[in-house]
Amino acid sequence: MTNKIELHHGDGGVKTSELIQKVFLKCYGNDREVPLSDSFVFTTKSSKLAFTTDSFVVQPLFFRGGDIGKLAVCGTLNDLVTAGAKPLYLSASFIIEEGFDIDILCRIAQSMGGICKENGVRIVTGDTKVVEKGSADGLFINTAGIGVVSGHYSPCEIEAGDEIIITGTIAEHGTAILLDRYDLSVETNMISDCYALNYLITDLKAELPYIKLMKDPTRGGVATALNEIVAHVGNNVELIENRIPITTQVKAINNILGIDPLYLACEGRMILVVKKGFGNRTLQALKQICGNHDAQMIGHFTKDCQKLVYLQTDIGGKRVLPSLEGQTVPRIC
């Protein structure tokens, strides 16, 4: 085992987890266990707030369906949504390489402003650093966010039978990045699913009491996100392959590339764990109220406790979906 940082340490899979445990948590000296969720929730005298941060190093900076600015805002908004929070304020910090085109920076900042306006949030603080040519690859952005946690959402213990919903088709962001980065000459109109998910807090209010957990399947995709969940919960997850929504275009492109779309990032989808028996109701609400026609109930938690995610395949076979080991695609977000 090498003692140097490798690309795998940033893929959101097993290695990232190891790094967090062995370096950050150990050195920060957190004396009590802080749950490793995408947002930290804390209570003040008057309200419950969520706080999060995320950095964005996507390459290319502009991709089909978005750009690094849109991603930087949506990514942080979505992390707040996973905590049941309505986002309020964001910070935005830029690390820019000397020589970077100011017009391009303008386009990215405008994109960020536009998404914030659409979602009723404001960027209220930030920072700008410029490094010498060659010290960074164009532009990196960090955003942090704060939001108020909805009183309707109170995540609770997951049990056997609880149902798993995905709010839309999978793997579109990862596939879009692959197409643009490698300039694959594939004729397709598919775009990244990059999108802010605030509507889940506002439009799905009536269903929030039955939602036990929300997680956005970004790096490492649906398979890795579910593995992170089972690692904490203990119970296995059974997914039904033919219920997992995926467009034929995404399926075909990944087939060509030999990549399993279950491990590719979404940037505008959420995994919802819903109380047993309430999955269909939530699914209907997602389809009718939120217009997520592709949302599907893709599986459930079983009573077995081996911390495994497995797939019931189209032909009735079974296979394990382990956590991501080995980089699928670096710098995807």
Partner 1 sequence: MMKMNKECKKTIRIMEVCGTHTQAISKSGIRYLLPNHVKLLSGPGCPVCVTNESYIDAAIGLLSHDHVILVTFGDMLKVRGTSSSLSEKKMKDNVITIYSPEDAITLARKWPQKIVVFLAVGFETTAPIMAATIKNAYENGPENLFFLTALKRMEPILRFILEDERNKIDGLICPGHVASVLGADAFQFVTKEYQVPAVVCGFEAEDLKAGIYNLLDQIEGERPVSFLNLYQRCVRNTGNRLAKECMDEVFQKEDGYWRGIGKVSNSALGLREKYQRLDVKNKFDLSEEIISNPSACQCREIILGLKAPYECKQFGVRCTPETPLGPCMISSEGSCSAHYKYGRVIF
Residues 6 or more apart in contact with residue 158 via CB below 8 angstroms? 212, 213, 229, 233, 235, 273, 301
CB 323 within 8 Å of CB 220: yes
Among 315, 330, 331, 332, the residue binding partner 1 under the rule CB under 8 A is 315
Amino acid at 145: G
| 291-310 binders of partner 1 (CB under 8 A) | 306, 308, 310
Among 62, 260, 281, 331, the residue binding partner 1 under the rule CB under 8 A is 260
Q: Taking CB under 8 A as the rule, does residue 132 contact partner 1? A: no
End-to-end CA distance of the chain: 27
Kindly state the tokens that stand for 282: 């939530």
Give which of 330, 312, 273, 272 is closest to 78, Cα–Cα. Answer: 272
Q: Taking CB under 8 A as the rule, does residue 171 contact partner 1? A: no
The piece of 29-37, 39-47, 120-128, 250-258 that touches partner 1 (CB under 8 A) is 250-258
Per-residue burial over 25-61, b if 16 or more Cβ lie within 10 Å, else e, is eeeeeeeeeeeebbbebeeeeeebbbbbbbbbbbbeb
Q: Taking CB under 8 A as the rule, does residue 322 contact partner 1? A: yes
Among 26, 106, 182, 305, the residue binding partner 1 under the rule CB under 8 A is 182
Size of the site for partner 1 (CB under 8 A): 26
Q: Taking CB under 8 A as the rule, does residue 318 contact partner 1? A: yes
Residue reference for tokens 């960027």:
123
Q: Taking CB under 8 A as the rule, does residue 316 contact partner 1? A: yes
Among 325, 330, 331, 332, the residue binding partner 1 under the rule CB under 8 A is 325
Contact set with partner 1 (CB under 8 A): 1, 8, 14-15, 182, 184, 256-258, 260, 306, 308, 310-320, 322, 325-326
